[in-house]
Amino acid sequence: MAPPGIPDYLSRRRHVRPGRVTVEGRAWSGLAVERVEFSADGGLTWDDADLGEPLGPYAWVRWAYEWDAPPGEHELCGRATDAAGETQPLSAEGAWNYGGYGVNVVQRVRVTVG
């Protein structure tokens, strides 16, 4: 996910104005990505994002979601599902390692809208 808004250096929190915000990113899997979902409430609810045209079966695919950002604190998440029906996990329990390999957990970005 390409985090929207202006970053705060120390907290890594993003700041955006209320209203329509385009949240976008890229998704990849060893198989074709067939679905990307977006959540603005830390993963409690999900909506389908729009997928771009894949350049090939093993290429990254662009995704975008038009978010109507209400004032307040939010945790944005994006998750992909591939052609085998495998969806990114919400947590990386047991998958962490020094190189970061094999960690495919849902990305989370804290955003303050105001």
Fold held by 6-113: Immunoglobulin-like (2.60.40)
The pLDDT of residue 26 is 94
Delimit the domains of the chain by residue range.
6-113
DSSP structure string for 37-104: EEESBTTSS-EEPEE---SSTTS-EEEEEEEEE-SEEEEEEEEEEETT--B--SS-TTT--TT-TT--
- In this prediction the pTM is 0.87
pLDDT in tens, the chain (114 residues): 887 888 777 777 899 999 999 999 999 888 889 999 999 999 999 999 999 998 887 789 999 999 999 999 999 999 999 999 999 988 866 566 677 666 688 889 999 999
